[in-house]
Amino acid sequence: MGDSKTVIRGAAGLFYDHPLLAVAFNSDIGDGSQQQQSTLLPIGGPSPTGLFNAFQVFHGTAIPGVTPGLAASAHYLSGFQRFDPSTFTGFGPILPFTLHVGKDFEYPYAIQANLTLEHQFGKDTVASASFITVNARHLGHPQDVNNVRSDRLVGNFQRFFGFAPSSLAAAAFGISIPSTASGTLFTNAVGRTFAVIIPGMIAAPIVGERRI
> Is 104 within 8 Å of 87 (Cβ atoms)?
no
Q: Which residues of 135-172 are buried (b: 16+ CB within 10 A; e: fewer)?
A: eeeeeeeeeeeeeeeeeebbebbeebbeeebeeeeebb
Domain boundaries, the chain: 6-18+107-137, 150-205
Residues of the chain falling short of pLDDT 70: 1-2, 30-38, 90-97, 146, 207-212
pLDDT of the residue at 133: 95
6-18+107-137 folds as Carboxypeptidase Inhibitor; Chain A (3.30.1040)
The per-residue pLDDT for range 133-158, each reduced to its tens digit, is: 999 998 887 777 767 788 888 998 99
pLDDT of residue 24: 74
